[in-house]
Structure 1
Amino acid sequence: MHAPKSGGGSTSSIRLRFDRLVAYSTNQLPLNMAALPVVLNVSHFYGEILKVPLGIMGLIFITTRVIDAVQDPVIGLISDKFTHRGPRGRLTFVALMLPLLIGGFYMLFHPPQSLFTQPGLLATWLFVALFVVHLGYAGVSISYHAHGAELTDDYNERTRVTVGREVFGLIGMTLAVVLPTYFTAQMGEHAGYVYMGLIFIPIAVLFSLPTLLWSPPSVHPPVVRENPEIHVRYFRDWLIGLAPWLGRPTRNMERSTTIKTLIPFFAPLKNRLFRRLLLVFIVNGAALGVAVSVMLFYVEHVLKGNKLQAGIILLVYFGAAAASVPLWMMLSRRFSKTAAWFIAMVLTAVSMSFGVVLGAGDFIWFMPIAIITGLGIGADYGLPPSVLADIINSDEGKDTKGDTGAYFGLWALSTKLATAIGAAGSLPVAALLGFNPSIGQYSAGALIFVYIAIPVVIKIIAALLIWYIRIEADRGSVRDELLGRRTATLG
């Protein structure tokens, strides 16, 4: 059980001052600026420039991602512990983890030159740097986002918090696209990446300070778990039911101390609305994971574009996402957050479908698709965390109500799962269908199928899920919200 909100909840519905909202939001810029190069540029830097064997590098990526996923729920629980240090306790944890994020990013792009001729030691450096940057990123992002979910209990104010935060995140992504391209063009591949690692240090410090010093405080009391045995009994019974399928004797499951150890990590899964949101979020996120993995290949081998054109597409994409903020805030107020998210899914699926008719030289015709899908990504980034904040503090959570760090730990894990599913369903499928540069295969049809058809199908599945199932604590399904309003209007 959790202590009731102080003040009868009156302070939680006050509209947040714009300057304080901006102060909270700025920290998302360095987070996103770090995230994209780790995904896109590290493999090129170490594989093409520093010549680390691809097999070893792939093993390192898989290992560090597994460690990263496992640590997320643990970090969420630690973040909850920091709520006992005051209404800005989670930001104290952010401040402690920020040096790891900055140091790990710098390490990634500035390995010692003495290691360049020793692939084994260079691979070890890559592993350590990835481990540090993943740990720092998880620690900062989970506690930072959990604090954001506790700034207000008002339905619409939560959307202002998450969408405002993602505006700075999209600016960070834009910098992550522009800076590597500019620095490598001006200074060469190696020096350009080193300088990117250096420039990240002052940017991260500059944009994290407003959050750490002037962010609004949490309106929630410290997280207190007074009866953890409730979680234990719930999941023990659930796992006992699975015991025959897992090949484990029931009596061993009943006696397992491992269950008691793992329960706090997964207690938020008792919340059925959270489970539904995770399902939709992972399915929808897999579409983005597929598209991101092959986008540059699509531009180069289908549209026959160059690197400059690819950069322009990315800038238009993220620029449209940032510009879409007022649209999604308006629609979420007019209908509901999930209804606005549904509209974004449909727009994205329809616009991407037109990509099947494009070919060499159709760069200009691709720009409207980039704009509309960019609008959709604005909803994908801004609305789901706001829905999550509503769910965390709803009565559906029962004894997990208010365990914000634990929820965001699982949320971070699901984000990585969606990306992994997308990556696993893109390049291997493209290779199977005839796009495999390593053996000289460049099938445009394979890229069109992977970049267009697969994400569109996944988006349609996500849209159908969110249309029929109720996710929001105080709202019906998207079908009920839209058709109910339409019926009321016609009546």
Structure 2
Amino acid sequence: MNSITASFDAAAPANDDLVQDGLQIRQTRADPSAQPLPTRRLLAFSTLWMPLAAVEVPLSTYVPPLYAGAFGLSLGTVGLIFLFARLWDAVIDPGIGILSDRTRSRFGRRRPWIFAGAWIFAFGAVGVFLPPAWFGPLEFSAALFTLYLGYSMMATPYSAWSGELSAAYHERTRVASYGQGLMSVALLLALVVPSLLAQRFAHEPRYQLASMGIMVFVLLAVALPFSLRALPEPASTAPPRGERTGFWRTTSLVLGEKLLIRVLASNFGIRLAQGTRTALFVFFVAHYMGSPAWAPALFLLQYVFGIIACPIWLAIGRRIGKGRAAVAGELTQVAINFALLLVTPGAWPLLLLLTVSQGLAQGSGNLMLRAIVADVADSHRLKTGHERTGLFYSVFSLSDKAALAVAVGIALPLIGWLGFDPREVNPPEVLEHLKYVFALGPVIGHIISASIIHGFPLDEKRHAEIRDSLTARESGASVSAPTT
């Protein structure tokens, strides 16, 4: 872990005179970029991404078949439960974002939501991962809905808080880089641990389920106090004006923020590409390459290099700007996926090379766009006087979930329509169809993303103008807002 943080810090400027008396952080309004956050505290703050990321792999990959086996639920019933739970998760995100923006307490705006959400998350996780023998569809649904409620109550305010930690253009990329790196570490654990458990408890699905839950509980118990105490929560500089924001008003606010819509659409393209690749990865390795046992190892290899890539893309973003770095990352992914067309059965060296390359490029666009959301929130606050960082990050999360759902909904029926059947021995022409969808499906998503975010006007210079205007207005001066 020390080598990882050293790599991040090599891409960041020195933090001279940053920390005094523990949590006292000097911030210069006129030049916020001169004050990077202390490395150890930023690392501690970012640890909460680990339990949030670690629960995703079990819920999407391992929990459904285990419930179908251990509790006798049909796959159709389990699928419907997860579908409605995901819809519930998506619906509540914007509401939580709005409410956390409006919250005022002596503990801050975001902390109360994260703390309360952690308990709800843990309570739901107990039901999902440590269920009693009498659990049926209704009980499982209630536990899963509770877990997702707690997840959203933590993740949405936490994302907003991450965007508010610094007003500096490049420092926000550094904050996002630490989060991305620790998410990759947690995903790595979530891939390794279940694989080991499947061998250790091959005929004990309840033990497998419980062990995965314990991993999530341990990460949450360690990360929550670290994260909540690591860094001070910035005070709101835009108190609420008593505006009541309903569904249609919220929708019009989001649709009226053109910069945000570009970021959301670009992120949707990235997640559509990633979701397509993930949905087809095991099928491609198992059936086209003919080696099912290699799929977990290639997943692990990709995530290992994803961890290594975070400081690299941080340095690239610092040099050329976040918008251009996002475009560069997406075009790199386009080239990698086109190269997959050259892979033939048995061409493992080429596939290994492309898997490593994919790992080095996979988080580039997500990283930059997540950091840009906070810049867009600054622009919005200058124009409207309202602080809506939580709302903006909630709809950013919504674009994630919607794109992943659409990717699965398109990719799997498409390869089925082209003749692929995972239960049968497929002829060579059908396997070629599988390869083309696996390679070219993500290409389309990455091209869409790059074309949308290309030429994004909110660069480092424009953001500095916005921050100067906000500082002047909040100190009582009258400075005209730059046009974005």
Query: Does 1:326 pair with 2:311?
Result: yes
Once the two structures are overlaid, the 10-residue window that deviates more, 287-296 or 184-193, is 184-193
Please report the RMSD computed on the Cα atoms of aligned residues, expressed in angstroms: 2.5
Question: Against the structure 1 CA distance between its residues 419 and 310, is the aligned structure 2 distance closer, same or farther, given a 3 Å change threshold?
Answer: same
TM-score, structure 2 as length reference: 0.83
> Residues 399-438 of structure 1: matches in 2 within 5 Å?
399=384, 401-437=386-422
| Residue 150 (structure 2) aligned to one of 130, 136, 139 | 136
CA drift at 1:313:
0.9
Cα pair distance change 1:88/1:102, threshold 3 Å = same
Is the 1:88–1:217 contact (alpha carbons within 8 Å) kept by the matching residues of 2? no
Q: Residues 397 and 285 from structure 1, CA distance in 2 versus in 1: closer, same or farther, beyond 3 angstroms? A: farther
Taking the aligned partners of 1:304 and 1:438, their CA distance within structure 2 comes to: 14
**Cα distance change on mapping 1:447 and 1:471 into 2, 3 Å:** farther
Residue in structure 2 matched with residue 248 of structure 1 by the alignment: none
Which residue of 254, 276, 284 corresponds with 2:270?
A: 284
Write the distance in 2 (CA, Å) between the matches of 1:218 and 1:203. Answer: 22
Structure with the bigger percentage of helix: 1
**2-structure distance, mates of 1:149, 1:382:** 12
Give the match for residue 22 of structure 1.
43
Bigger mean CA deviation after superposition, 323-332 or 151-160: 323-332
Counterpart of 1:255? none
Q: Which secondary structure does the structure 1 equivalent of 2:214 belong to?
A: helix
Segment drifting more, 90-99 vs 10-19: 10-19
Q: Which residue of 1 aligns with 2:439?
A: 452
For residue 70 of structure 1, the aligned residue among 91, 98, 122 is 91
Q: 1:104 to 1:445 in 2, by over 3 A?
A: farther
Residues 270, 296 of structure 1: CA spacing in aligned structure 2 closer, same or farther, 3 A cutoff?
same
Task: Tell me the distance in 1 between the aligned counterparts of 2:380 and 2:247.
Answer: 25
Measure, in 2, the Cα distance between the counterparts of 1:401 and 1:226: 8
Of 241, 248, 261, the residue aligned with 1:226 is 241
**CA deviation vs aligned residue, 1:317-339 (integer Å, no higher than 9, x gap):** 11111111221111111111111
2:176 touches 2:370 (CA, 8 Å); kept in 1?
yes
**CA separation in 2, counterparts of 1:7 and 1:329?**
22
Matched, 1:346 2:360: no
> 1:366 — aligned with what?
351
CA distance in 1, matches of 2:225, 2:27: 29
User: Structure 1: how far apart are the matches of 2:425 and 2:238?
Assistant: 57
1:167 aligns with 2:178: no
1:181 Cα deviation after fit: 0.5
How far, CA to CA, are the matches of 1:211 and 1:364 in structure 2?
41
Distance across 1 between alignment mates of 2:143 and 2:79: 15
Select 2:453's aligned residue among 444, 449, 466: 466
Deviation >4 Å, runs of 4+? 10-13, 438-442, 471-476
For 2:209, which of 173, 190, 193 is the aligned residue? 193
Size of the alignment, in residue pairs? 433
1:416 Cα deviation after fit: 0.8
Instruction: Please name the residue that 1:251 is paired with.
Output: none
1:488 corresponding residue in structure 2: none
- 2:292 maps to 306
Q: Which blocks of at least 5 consecutive residues in structure 1 are unaligned?
A: 1-5, 116-120, 232-259, 477-491
What corresponds to 1:207 in structure 2? 223
> Could you tell me how far 1:197 is from its partner in structure 2?
1.3
Picking from 227, 230, 253, the partner of 1:267 is 253
SS in 1 for 2:234: coil
After superposition, give the CA deviation of every residue in 1:121-147 in whole Å (9 maximum; x if it has no partner). 2x2233122211211111111011111
Taking the aligned partners of 2:237 and 2:72, their CA distance within structure 1 comes to 49
Distance 1:112 1:340, change over 3 A: same
Q: Partner residue of 1:386?
A: 371
**Matches of 2:382 and 2:276 in 1, distance apart?**
32
> Following TM superposition, by how much is the alpha carbon of 1:44 offset from its aligned partner in structure 2, in angstroms?
2.3
Superposed counterparts of 1:48-197, under 5 Å? 48-82=69-103, 84-86=104-106, 88-115=108-135, 121=136, 123-188=137-202, 190=205, 191-197=207-213
* TM-score, normalised with respect to structure 1: 0.82
- Secondary structure (helix, strand or coil) at the match of 2:454 reads helix
Mapped to 1, the partners of 2:177 and 2:311 lie a distance apart of: 9
Paired AA for residue 427 in structure 1: L
The one-letter code matched in structure 2 to 1:101 is F
Does the C-alpha gap of structure 1 residues 331 and 345 become closer, same or farther in structure 2, counting only changes over 3 Å? same
Relative to 1, partners in 2 of residues 1:400 and 1:124: Cα closer, same or farther, differing over 3 Å? farther
Letter of the 2:37 counterpart: L
CA positional deviation for 1:284: 1.7
Identity %: 24
| Helix, strand or coil at the partner of 2:55 | helix
